[in-house]
Structure 1
Amino acid sequence: MSVENEERAARRWGQGRGVAWAVVGCLVLGGVLMVVPPDGGDGDGGGGDGGGGRAARVVGAAGPEGRARAVMTAGAPAALPAVASVVREREARVRDRPRDHTSWAVLGVAYTERARRTGAFADYPKAENALRTSLRLRPTGNVDALEGLAALANARRDFRAAKHWGEEAVRVAPERWTSYALLIDAYDGLGRYKAARAALGRLLTLNSGPAARARAAQVYWDQGAREDAATTIADAAASETTPVGPSAAAAAWWVRAGELAWERGEAAQSLRYCEAAGSEPEADACRGRALAALGRTAQGVRAYRVALSRRPSAQVALRLGELYASLGRAGEARKQYGVVRTLVARAAGAGVNESLVLGALEADHGDPEVAVRVLRAEWERQPGLRVADALAWALHRAGKDEEALGFARRATDRARGGEVRSAAYACHRGVIERALGLAAPARRHLAEARRLNPYFSVGGGRRFA
């Protein structure tokens, strides 16, 4: 039944493809429907329950105030031109009214979103300054600033900080559903999957719309419910897609649907979803991976190059380097690995944690001992499944297979919380078991990896696409 729902969702967007996509979903230049807090105002938006729960209402959103409020309350990706407009408006506003705590909070959120969408690392320190200024101006009841700081911490992959700020936001405004969405990301990054499920349950009692369903899809995936996750994210994207094209939120969700389809070994479906995302900045990388998996490697390389020109990303640069390596283009691969190091360093300078990417690079293309040090420290900070898998692989590459197997088991055993059904995790465990002479479990886990995603590079244990 879930497969039928996914196919129906795909047909819904397919009927309207081919024209320009709508400017935004919940944040629009000009004026469309959006969700705002009950007060509908600007200066005191951080007080009370903060809105965004059952009391939220739908109104017309026009002009600077509407755009700014949408940034704070939509709970979904916004169109980049609208974000840029909010930045300009709020920069002017805080120059004129430097004690306007709400404008400082809106500005901080907009800086974070612009950085996330464009890879402009310099916006992250600006976001932190703006949000902390808002909190200093209104230190109590300022849920806008608290949520903004949680979103900033998630974007920087500082999940402990995100948990702190998200829980503070919930304490101040327990009926504001967007705080629970932020906490899901934080708990997921910390490996606290039961807490993430509890946060999702609370979120869905407050909001059952597309943005809430998109968050639910990630939790379903982490629980190993791959088809439910794929259906849910595709349906959320389809519900925000019209014959004109997807909203900004829907475009981001189509990209996520494409990523999940690739993880399920459905490269052709992944490509269709990525194409549905239109000009979403992350869609090019999504297309690149699907094209490479389908053997259309020249097109895949071009898509990755476009992605990096539009939005610098250490993860995408690593994928491109590994694609070059798989094609025998060793010189270009080495050059790309240098780009990865540069981007990781730039990110670190802005407080962004790229330990997983750096660990993967060092494990397979640099110094595995360095990878182990980086990822062991990351495990101490944020012991999630992704870190467990990455550390297991780094330990294997460093010749420490017995210790590696312990972390690989953490990433794959349900009893240890490893509910994600991932070809990467299964493959890494199988390779480690094979190195230890555990032939039967090695065969089982390598076969599982092939079933989960035949496009994963089983032999090397790393994905190049």
Structure 2
Amino acid sequence: MWKVVPLLAALLVVTACARQEPVSQPVTQTSSLQRNAESLQAKLRRTPDDASAWAQLGATHVELARTTFDPQHYSRAERALKESLRLKPEGNGEAFMGQGALFNARHDFVAARDWGQRAVSALPDSAQAQGVLVDALTQLGDDAGAAVALQRMLDLRPGVASFTRAAYHFELHGRLDEARVALERALETASSPEEAGFCQFHLDELKGRTDAEALEVYGGLVSKAPSPEYLVKYGKALDKTGKPAEARAQFDLALQQLRALGGDDLTAALIAADHGDPAEALRFAEKEWTKRQSVFTADAMAWALHVNKRSAEALPYSDKAVALGWKDPEVLRHREAILGSLR
């Protein structure tokens, strides 16, 4: 049995059976999801009182929103999940999971945690329900709670979804060797080209990319799935290769998307701090901090305060950002700048 807490050796002997879903071949994946949505819609025209089908349709639209970056899918997911809950308000684990996934996607992690807990109560042997809860607790900064839910997920189904979440858990604790092994185990258990591509992508992320590799990888991703995350990474790659004007265009587009969609004030804070208005960066960061006090928001607060020339106030937040052992290069860059300004 694989364990979250013990050392690397425990992971090496496992026999395998928020990161999110695979990033490779997004067109293929989106087509499959769209076909699934159409099939469920056809089924519901015949049997409109099928609470399970409504819940599945809602979950499919959450995934379509993630792969297409079309916020209309969130509204469709919400309507489908509400209909499922209207038909079956109690013990509807599928709808509870769908709601948790929807609120995670919308960055309302408190609501996602609450729905995840309801899903786990209704479906105690569901690894997927545990995954919804792991994602919410991780983002809320409840490290102990996330570890418990992750261990339960691994016990139930040590596959791609659980191993990749384990890798992220290790990464946040600075246990990079164990994170790599977890991703390698995930890659071994992948059952489709999309899953394998997802695992390989994050293995390469963990190992680090050269500037040329980053330019090619993120440029390709932006052309297929122009999410704020990929736009920012592509912008950084452009900046490092001497293309500041093109880089700025990516940052501006990412910030425009975030302002329009709302919800992800954390990413907006970091973009504004480096490439926009420092005062706006601090407003974004403070708004996110009122909702969750995680290592992620601590780093955003620290950096936003620093670029507003308030480094003494930034330091306690920077301390919190690395308290678990997180060694993310950007977080360490922020910390070094803050410490340097106080010397």
Normalising by structure 1, report the TM-score: 0.65
- Paired position in structure 2 for 1:424: 330
**How many angstroms does 1:371 deviate by?**
0.5
Partner of 2:342 in structure 1? 436
The answer on whether the counterparts of 1:388 and 1:407 sit within 8 Å (CA) in structure 2 is yes
Matching of residue 316 in structure 1 with residue 262 in structure 2: no
For 2:317, the aligned partner's letter is F
Distance apart, 1:252 and its partner CA: 1.9
Poorly superposed stretches of 4+, deviation over 6 Å: none
* Matching residue of 1:261: 207
Matched, 1:113 2:63: yes
Contact kept in structure 1, 2:222 and 2:234, CA below 8 Å: no
Once the two structures are TM-superposed, the CA of residue 231 in structure 1 deviates from its matched residue by 0.6
Contact 2:159/2:189 (<8 A) preserved: no
Say which one has the larger Rg: 1
Aligned to 2:265: 355
Aligned counterpart, 1:195: 145
Render the CA deviation track for 1:108-133: whole Å, top value 9, x for unaligned.
11111112122222211111111111
How far the C-alpha of 1:91 sits from its partner, in A, is 1.6
Select 1:101's aligned residue among 51, 55, 60: 51
Change (3 A) 1:229 1:370: same
- Secondary structure, in 3 states, of the residue corresponding to 2:293? coil
| C-alpha contact 2:215 2:237 (8 A) present in aligned 1 | yes
Residues 315 and 210 (structure 1 numbering): CA distance in 2 closer, same or farther, change over 3 Å?
Answer: closer
* Alignment check: 8 A CA contact 1:154 1:162 kept: yes
Tell me the residue number matched to 1:236: 186
2:167 pairs, out of 208, 217, 222, with: 217
Task: Indicate conservation of the 8 Å contact 2:255/2:272, yes or no.
Answer: no
Contact kept, 8 Å, 1:112 with 1:152, in 2: the verdict is yes
The alignment partner of 2:312 has SS state of helix
Matched ranges for 1:122-137 at <5 A: 122-137=72-87
* Partner residue, 2:3: none
Judged with a 3 Å threshold, the aligned counterparts in structure 2 of structure 1 residues 76 and 325 are, in CA distance, closer, same or farther, namely: closer
Q: Aligned-pair distance for 1:228?
A: 0.8
d(CA) in 2 for partners of 1:192, 1:362: 27
Matches within 5 A, 1:26-37: none
SS of residue in 1 equivalent to 2:188: helix
Q: Deviations over 1:141-161 (max 9, x none)?
A: 100000011111122222111
- Report matched runs for 1:242-321 at 5 Å: 246-262=192-208, 290=209, 294-296=210-212, 300-321=214-235
How far has the Cα of 1:378 moved from its partner? Answer: 0.2
Q: Which amino acid aligns with 1:433?
A: L
Distance 1:248 1:333 in 2: 29
**Paired positions, count:** 325
Opposite residue 248 of structure 1, the aligned amino acid is: E
1:333 aligns with 2:247: yes
Larger helix fraction of residues: 2
27, 30, 41: which one pairs with 1:91? Answer: 41
Task: State the partner residue of 2:177.
Answer: 227
| Counterpart for residue 382 of structure 1 | 292
| Alpha-carbon spacing, 1:325–1:202, altered in 2? closer, same or farther (3 Å) | closer
| C-alpha deviation, 1:331, in angstroms | 2.8
The answer as to whether partners of 1:324 and 1:330 remain within 8 angstroms in 2 is: yes
Deviation of 1:76 (Å): 6.6
User: Which letter maps to 1:249?
Assistant: E
Instruction: Find the counterpart in structure 1 of residue 304 from structure 2.
Output: 394
Q: Give the TM-score of the pair, scaled to structure 2.
A: 0.87
User: Greater shift after overlay, 391-400 or 152-161?
Assistant: 152-161
2:118 corresponds to which of 165, 168, 192: 168
CA separation of 1:325 and 1:346: change in aligned 2, threshold 3 A: same
Decide which moves more: 75-84 or 203-212.
75-84
Any unmatched runs of 5+ in structure 1? Answer: 7-34, 36-74, 263-289, 438-465
Following the alignment from structure 1 to structure 2, what is the Cα–Cα distance between the partners of residues 125 and 118?
Answer: 14
SS of residue matched to 2:40: helix
Deviations 1:38-75 (A, max 9, x none): xxxxxxxxxxxxxxxxxxxxxxxxxxxxxxxxxxxxx9
Which of 360, 369, 373 in structure 1 is aligned with 2:279?
369
**What do you get for the CA RMSD once the two structures are aligned?**
2.4
**CA distance in 2: counterparts of 1:342 and 1:176, whole angstroms:** 38
Deviation readout 1:321-368 (Å, 9 max, x if unpaired): 3333334433323322321122213422xxxx2212211121111111
Identity level (%): 31
Residues 388 and 408 of structure 1 are in contact (CA less than 8 Å); yes or no, is this contact kept in structure 2? yes
Q: Which residue type is aligned with residue 282 of structure 2?
A: V
- How far apart are the structure 2 equivalents of 1:260 and 1:334? 25
**For the structure 1 residues 118 and 209, does the alpha-carbon distance in structure 2 shift closer, same or farther, using more than 3 Å as the test?**
same
Task: Note the alpha carbon deviations across 1:166-193, whole angstroms, 9 max, x for none.
Answer: 0011122222222111111111000000
Which residue in the other structure is 2:127 paired with?
Answer: 177
Distance 1:100 1:118, change over 3 A: same
